């Protein structure tokens, strides 16, 4: 049974858990909107990963790039980024360009009518009049969901992709993280059975929250959260892992956990969310930095990840170690987002049928 956002009130939709929202976000096995990490299951993630890899190979020559660029040259995308961003913005911008989409952008509400008091609803409805896709990033949690519901109740229900909302969700970052793990472990049995160690500001890191949820789709994945008590993961994530039957652990001992890790996922202190300016500086995070000495106790086939931007939580001296995959992780974002947009607009079958032997 197909469920549509136009068939449910905002209050009822908002009360649903992220997993319960999924039926309203999918039609014909394709995402209508991309709002929460929990809307993706393992098959969808594996399909997106294989599509992203195929796009990478197609893009290796001029003919392939011409093919990709012609897929969506009549569609237009609005990048509505009211929260500062470098990698996510450029990644989405490049993904749209690979597919031939025209792009518009608002990167600061001071340049839009919101500066004059226009509501988010009116701004997004305005964008939907000119564009076929809205990619939005906001410091306001749940705003992308609200805007998707609003548009679904208009005569112009264009797709919305959540590129980061408040402290709660960053679904496409989680997808690129999963894709990075898929690529990193493709010769060692895949993600199943691996141990993921998250380090740093886990209380306010939306990337960790989204990835922890997606990894419950894989078998026997162990997830450990390492940080000072003040920055430890929230009880909602722990409850989610318990309900999924996932083995997890909470620790303050970083060095003890490193030898157990197949993937170390480092994060910075998210001090932009401080309730009182400067309060994060009172927390000692010096024991949660990955340095050159830690390479000696890390498994030879493990990987080090980071969603960026980084500060001093990973020493630059670690960058040249082959286990440091965070630069590849960043590039993976461009490919997985290209695959995601192509899937939303039903161009994935054309990509899969493309003859890679063409020169």
Q: Look at the chain and count its residues.
A: 359
* 221 in Cβ contact with 182 (< 8 Å): no
Note whether 5-170+333-349 and 171-331 share their fold: yes
* 18-50: b (≥16 Cβ within 10 Å) or e: beebbebbbeeeebbbbbbbbbbebebbbbbbe
Work out the mean pLDDT of the chain and round it to a whole number: 92
pLDDT reading at 258 higher than 50: yes
Interatomic CA distance for residues 164 and 35, integer angstroms: 9
Interatomic CA distance for residues 166 and 142, integer angstroms: 7
Q: Note if 116 is an active site residue.
A: yes
182-236 tens-digit pLDDT: 999 999 999 999 999 999 999 988 889 999 999 999 999 999 999 999 999 999 9
Closest CA to 237 of 270, 273, 196: 196
* 78 in Cβ contact with 130 (< 8 Å): yes
pLDDT reading at 131 higher than 50: yes
Q: Band of the pLDDT at 283, cuts 50, 70, 90?
A: confident
Angle between helices 206-214 and 235-243 (to 10 degrees): 0
Question: For residue 207, what are the contacts with CB-CB under 8 A and spacing of at least 6?
Answer: 170, 173, 174, 177, 267, 307
Which CATH number is associated with domain 171-331?
A: 3.40.50.1370
Interatomic CA distance for residues 338 and 78, integer angstroms: 15
Q: Note if 170 is an active site residue.
A: yes
Q: Note if 87 is an active site residue.
A: yes
Which one of 21, 33, 120, 170 is the catalytic residue?
Answer: 170
Which one of 33, 53, 88, 267 is the catalytic residue?
Answer: 88
pLDDT of residue 1: 47
Q: What percent of the chain has pLDDT over 90?
A: 81
Cβ–Cβ contacts within 10 Å for residue 57, how many? Answer: 11
76-93 tens-digit pLDDT: 999 999 888 889 999 999
Q: Which helix (H) or strand (E) holds 220?
A: none
Lowest mean pLDDT among 9-13, 120-124, 173-177, 225-229: 120-124
Which one of 21, 33, 137, 194 is the catalytic residue?
Answer: 137
Which one of 87, 107, 167, 310 is the catalytic residue?
Answer: 87
pLDDT of residue 208: 93
* 58 in Cβ contact with 64 (< 8 Å): yes
CA angle at residue 352 from 348 to 354, to 5 degrees? 115
pLDDT of residue 26: 92
* 132 in Cβ contact with 76 (< 8 Å): yes
pLDDT reading at 127 higher than 70: yes
- For the chain, give every domain's residue range: 5-170+333-349, 171-331
CATH 3.40.50.1370 corresponds to the domain 5-170+333-349: yes
Instruction: Please state the pTM of the whole predicted model.
Output: 0.93
Q: Band of the pLDDT at 291, cuts 50, 70, 90?
A: very high
């Amino acid at each position: 049974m197909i469920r549509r956002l136009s068939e449910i009130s905002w209050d009822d939709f908002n009360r649903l858990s992220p997993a319960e929202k999924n039926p309203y976000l999918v039609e014909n096995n394709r995402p209508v909107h991309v709002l929460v990490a929990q809307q993706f299951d393992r098959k969808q993630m594996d399909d997106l990963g294989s599509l992203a890899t195929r796009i990478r190979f197609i893009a290796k020559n001029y003919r392939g790039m011409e093919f990709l660029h012609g897929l969506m040259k009549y569609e237009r995308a609005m990048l509505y980024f009211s929260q500062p961003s470098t990698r996510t913005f450029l990644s989405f911008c490049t993904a749209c360009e690979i597919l031939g989409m025209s792009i518009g952008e608002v990167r600061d509400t001071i340049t839009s009518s919101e500066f004059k008091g226009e509501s988010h609803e009116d701004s997004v409805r305005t964008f939907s009049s000119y564009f076929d896709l809205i990619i939005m990033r906001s410091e306001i949690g749940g705003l992308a969901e609200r805007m998707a519901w609003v548009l679904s109740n208009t005569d112009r229900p264009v797709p919305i992709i959540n590129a980061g909302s408040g402290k709660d969700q960053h679904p496409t970052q989680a997808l690129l993280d999963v894709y990075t793990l898929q690529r990193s472990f493709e010769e060692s049995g895949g993600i199943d059975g691996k141990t993921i160690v998250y380090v740093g500001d886990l209380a306010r890191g939306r990337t960790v929250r989204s990835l922890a949820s997606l990894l419950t789709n894989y078998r026997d994945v162990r997830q450990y959260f390492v940080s000072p008590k003040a920055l430890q993961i929230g009880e909602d994530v722990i409850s989610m892992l318990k309900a999924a039957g996932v083995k997890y652990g909470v620790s303050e001992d970083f060095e003890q956990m490193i030898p157990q890790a197949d993937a170390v996922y480092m994060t910075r202190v998210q001090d932009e969310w401080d309730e009182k300016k400067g309060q994060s500086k009172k927390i000692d995070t010096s024991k949660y930095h990955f340095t050159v000495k830690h390479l000696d106790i890390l498994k030879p086939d493990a990987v080090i990840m980071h969603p960026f931007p980084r500060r001093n939580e990973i020493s630059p001296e670690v960058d040249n170690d082959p286990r440091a995959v965070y630069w590849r992780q960043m590039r993976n974002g461009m490919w997985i987002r290209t695959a995601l947009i192509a899937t939303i607009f039903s161009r994935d079958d054309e990509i899969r049928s493309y003859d890679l032997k063409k020169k």
